[in-house]
Every structure is written in C-alpha cells, then in structure tokens.
Amino acid sequence: MSAWVPNAATPCSRASRRRPARAESGITEITAALLHHLRRDRIPAIVRNSAAGLGDRSLVEIVESGDVERAVTAARTMFAFEDATG
C-alpha cells in the first residue's frame, strides 16, 4: 500500500522515517488483501475514497493518522463476502 499512501517511506528515505514493525506488517496485510481482490489499477481510487463505514475517512487517512489496526480491520471487512451471503 505504500505505493498508494502519500509520504510513505521510500527505500531511499527509510532510514529517516521508520514505522513500527506492526504498522509495516499491517500495511503489508492491507496491500495483500487489496491485491488479491482488486485489479491493481483500481487500488489507488479505493484507498483514497472516503467511506461512511470508515467515519467518512479513507484507508489512507486512517493509516496516516496512525490507526493501522483499524485500517487492517476495515480492509478485512471489505472482503468478508460470507457476511454478505448470509
């Protein structure tokens, strides 16, 4: 997801901008879910659009606020199809 999150650490800036390990693994988990369920070219729009279920915030805004756990939960919920089919 770091490719779709503005100001995300790039390889050349990692030394100056370290994220906690859980944040990194959370972002990796979100990215894996998005890549599994969506076409790659649709991901930027999905992570940047706000949603009522996210308190009118986007996944990017939630991650940037530091609440990576909430973003991980939201990404999992987006693809919980068993809940939709009953």
What are the backbone angles phi and psi of residue 51, rounded to the nearest 5°?
-140, 145
pLDDT at 16 over 70: no
Query: pLDDT, tens digit, for every residue of 74-83?
Result: 999 888 877 6
Residues 6+ apart with CB under 8 A from 71: 26, 30, 59, 62, 63
Query: pLDDT, tens digit, for every residue of 21-59?
Result: 777 889 999 999 999 999 999 999 999 999 998 999 999
pLDDT value of residue 24: 86
pLDDT value of residue 73: 94
The CA angle 76-42-2, to the nearest 5 degrees, is 65
- State the pLDDT confidence band at 10, using cuts at 50, 70 and 90: very low
Q: Indicate the domain borders of the chain.
A: 22-85
Say whether pTM exceeds 0.75. Answer: no
CB 1 within 8 A of CB 63: yes
Tokens of 12: 């050349």
pLDDT at 7 over 60: no
Residue 57 forms beta bridges with which residues? 51
Q: How many CB atoms lie within 10 A of CB 59?
A: 27
